[in-house]
Amino acid sequence: MDRRFLTCVFFIFFITISLFGMEITLSFVGDIMFHKPIIDSALSNGKYDFKNIFKYVKTYIEKTDLAFCNLETTLGGKPYTGYPRFSSPDEVLDAIKYAGFDVVNVANNHMLDRGASGLIRTIKKVSESGLTCVGARLNPLEKEYTIVDVKDIKVSLASFTYSTNGIQLDKERAYMFTYISKDVIMNIVQSMRKESDIVIVYLHYGNEYQTTPTKEQRELAHLALKSGADLVIASHPHVLQEIELVKDGLKTKLIAYSLGNFLSNMTDPGTDEGVILNITYHKVKGVTQVTPVLTLVQKYYDNEKLLFRIIPVNDFIKKPDKFINSQTLEKLYDVSKKNLMSED
């Protein structure tokens, strides 16, 4: 009797461990943009330090198994510049690591702001920092996607951009990144599927400042899912758009049409709003839990210096600090009412 009981307990324990071993947590945010006022705000005594910007969101990001962000600037060296041609201090990577990110996407319309040399330097600096760079490659022999091992689960990531703002690479370097096209997405995703447990596609696309996805956004995202992707994550509109769950047999897949701005100095309505999209993903069941943490980019003054920080909306509604005035508190309440999950 005791032996049977112990065998049963061991069996249940083994099954439980196996099931949990098939599950990982993922975190995604949208555009991280370092406009010139943000760069200037981080300069003190001749050194740049951007970590405080991410102080209050760090806890939501670092706890996940894999965290992804879109770095919408180059690390092209001095002079440091913001819009329309971005180049940021290398120290931004220290802040991104501090915040808990593991994967940095560079495929976006500002990736060539400092030309080929700027892109090459950006890729090298991201890799040297210990972060995984996706969305561009230095060698044509490298795959057009990246595979990372997370708790013995193979996760592949590929990124595509709609544009590079009219800046072109010469033909010899055209291999370095991939523009969005249906055939290219299908072929790359199918290759990813063959050697991955989880396939993640990032699309930099959509219409700026539009809170509703276009027909083309929907078609491309669903094409990626049908080709074998499990998650489609996107940004570029600079405002939040809906998150859609898609049933595919036993598996639940997900599309996030725009995660908005995680950090920027933009002033159009909604461009200071973002989200930390935390997902629990099971190898067989797919998406089992979605936890959106709404965020706000706050500009404030301390000792007459303009500063920036990203704050979790609900946390600062519950416990505002001395830098939250009545106008900011009202904004936080407005953002907190947003429901990003699609009703379909």
The CA-CA-CA angle for residues 72, 75, 76, to 5°, reads 120
pLDDT score, position 4: 58
Query: Could you tell me how far CA 10 lies from the centroid of its own chain?
Result: 40
- Mean pLDDT of residues grouped by 10 in the chain (344 residues)? 49 42 94 98 97 98 98 98 98 98 98 98 98 98 98 98 97 97 98 98 98 98 98 98 97 98 98 98 97 98 97 98 98 98 74
Helical residues (DSSP H) of the chain, grouped into ranges:
2-20, 36-41, 58-62, 92-99, 115-128, 182-194, 215-227, 313-318, 326-336
Model confidence over 165-181: pLDDT tens digits? Answer: 999 999 999 999 999 99
Query: Could you tell me how far CA 34 lies from the centroid of its own chain?
Result: 15
Cα atoms in the Cβ-side hemisphere of radius 13 Å centred on 170: 3
CATH code for residues 23-337:
3.60.21.10
What are the residues facing 243 on neighbouring strands?
Answer: 256, 341
Backbone angles phi, psi at 233, to 5 degrees: -115, 140
pLDDT score, position 6: 44
pLDDT score, position 342: 85
pLDDT score, position 318: 98
Cis-peptide into 79, omega within 30 deg: yes
Domain boundaries, the chain: 23-337
The three-state secondary structure class of 282 is strand
Model confidence over 294-340: pLDDT tens digits? Answer: 999 999 999 999 999 999 999 999 999 999 999 999 999 999 999 99
pLDDT score, position 207: 98
- Please check whether residue 246 is in contact with residue 252, taking contact to mean a CB–CB distance below 8 angstroms: yes
Task: Kindly tell me the sign of the dihedral angle through the C-alpha atoms of 73, 78, 83, 89.
Answer: positive
pLDDT score, position 15: 41
Cα atoms in the Cβ-side hemisphere of radius 13 Å centred on 248: 21
Ranges assigned E (strand) in the chain? 23-32, 43-44, 47-48, 66-71, 103-105, 132-134, 146-150, 153-161, 198-204, 231-235, 243-248, 251-256, 261-263, 273-282, 286-302, 305-312
pLDDT score, position 3: 59
DSSP 138: S
- Cα distance between residue 259 and residue 220, in whole Å: 17
- Cα distance between residue 70 and residue 301, in whole Å: 27
- Please check whether residue 60 is in contact with residue 276, taking contact to mean a CB–CB distance below 8 angstroms: yes
- Cα distance between residue 173 and residue 116, in whole Å: 8
Backbone angles phi, psi at 259, to 5 degrees: -90, 5
Structure tokens at 14: 């083994």
